[in-house]
Amino acid sequence: MMVPAALLLLGALTAVLAPRLLARADWPDREPVVALWVWQCVVAAVLLCCALSMTLSAAAAWQAVRGHVFAPAPSAVVEAYALGVGGSWAATTAVTLACGGLWTGAMLVREVARARARRRQRRAELLVRSPLLPGEETGNDRLVILEGERPDAWWLPGTAPRLVITTAALRRLKGRQLDALLAHEQGHAQARHDWLLHCSGALAGGFPQVPVFAAFRDEMHRLVELAADDMASRRFGRLTTALALVELNEDRGVFGPCPTPHTQVPQRVNRLLTPPDRLTAGRRLRLTAAAALVPAVPVIVAVVPGLRALG
């Protein structure tokens, strides 16, 4: 029972230390795409620790599970894990972690169902505000223009994704600013940022007392916007993208002293106007490779006793 306990301890340490290290680092804002990858690897490592600990605990508690998990393994490998020790603690750990896994799956299903319900509602509202003309058939138009006094634009994902933009936004955005806005929204769609937000929201909603999942959700919402800003600025310039953000959000009071739901917009504008130095290609590659190794650590911890027995 030492390996399942070590895996749980490793998962707890990863959940506590990794968010703190990332919060102190100065490179996530400079390289949001790399930061997105690192966060995914950290959360995957935490979940993998729990899954492996559950599997080994179940193998220690029940002979039937042990037979499936260690079916092709020699007896020396099975003895190396000391699965006969643990008794009720092994069963309790396995059942608790299994319930956590089922709850995670249920939360993800709920999050996806809610997102689809919101999309259906917004599509219904879109049809009311932009009805089909007599004789017109529903098509797969990717751009929808709405009459509106408030400048706004949003990407509506789904089987037939659409970019919705109001006439007020068309009047306010000049020249390449509209192109930068379109590139920003297309960046979200191409990178499938909606699925990142679904997964992080499911984990944070299902386990609100676990800080790493709440931090994961908050950082996903922030980093996907930075990544989309960078995609737009690479094509149309940082100044143009910043001006498009200002034009879209100026009437919402986001640049005033009072906090609003869009408090990140001024920070995004400042970041675009005063761009930090990007990391070198070599350092980005090293960070990406190091992050990819994080989920491999639980696997190594889980297989070390078996490898020693075979060695």
Polymer length in residues for the chain = 311
Residue 157 has pLDDT above 60, yes or no: yes
Residue 65 has pLDDT above 80, yes or no: no
Residue 266 has pLDDT above 90, yes or no: no
Query: Higher confidence at residue 149 or residue 16?
Result: 16
Residue 262 has pLDDT above 80, yes or no: no
Query: Higher confidence at residue 112 or residue 161?
Result: 112
Query: Higher confidence at residue 193 or residue 38?
Result: 38
Confidence of residue 256 (pLDDT cuts 50, 70, 90): low
Indicate the SS3 state at residue 185.
helix
pLDDT at 141: 59
pLDDT at 86: 60
pLDDT at 233: 92
pTM: 0.86
Which residues have C-beta within 8 Å of that of residue 211, sequence separation ≥ 6? 15, 16, 19
pLDDT at 14: 92
Q: Work out the average pLDDT over 198-210.
A: 89
Confidence of residue 85 (pLDDT cuts 50, 70, 90): low
What is the pLDDT of the chain when averaged over all its residues? 84
Confidence of residue 161 (pLDDT cuts 50, 70, 90): confident
Instruction: Average the pLDDT over each of 63-67, 171-175, 263-267 and give the range with the smallest value.
Output: 63-67
The string of pLDDT tens digits covering residues 27-41 is 999 999 999 999 999
Residue 300 has pLDDT above 70, yes or no: yes
Confidence of residue 257 (pLDDT cuts 50, 70, 90): low
Where are the alpha helices (H) located in 25-87, listed in sequence order? Answer: 32-61, 63-69, 75-80
Which residues have C-beta within 8 Å of that of residue 111, sequence separation ≥ 6? 198, 199, 201, 202, 205
Q: Which among 257-261, 298-302, 303-307 has the top mean pLDDT?
A: 298-302
Q: Whose CA is closest to 18, among 246, 291, 299?
A: 291
Query: Higher confidence at residue 243 or residue 73?
Result: 243
Q: How far apart are CA 264 and CA 229, in angstroms?
A: 12
Instruction: Average the pLDDT over each of 8-17, 52-61, 150-159, 201-210 and give the range with the smallest value.
Output: 150-159
Q: Which tokens belong to 237?
A: 């310039």
Q: Which tokens belong to 131?
A: 């009805």
Q: Whose CA is closest to 22, among 40, 46, 48, 6?
A: 40
pLDDT at 248: 85
The string of pLDDT tens digits covering residues 241-254 is 999 988 888 777 66
pLDDT at 209: 84
Query: Higher confidence at residue 223 or residue 80?
Result: 223
Confidence of residue 75 (pLDDT cuts 50, 70, 90): confident
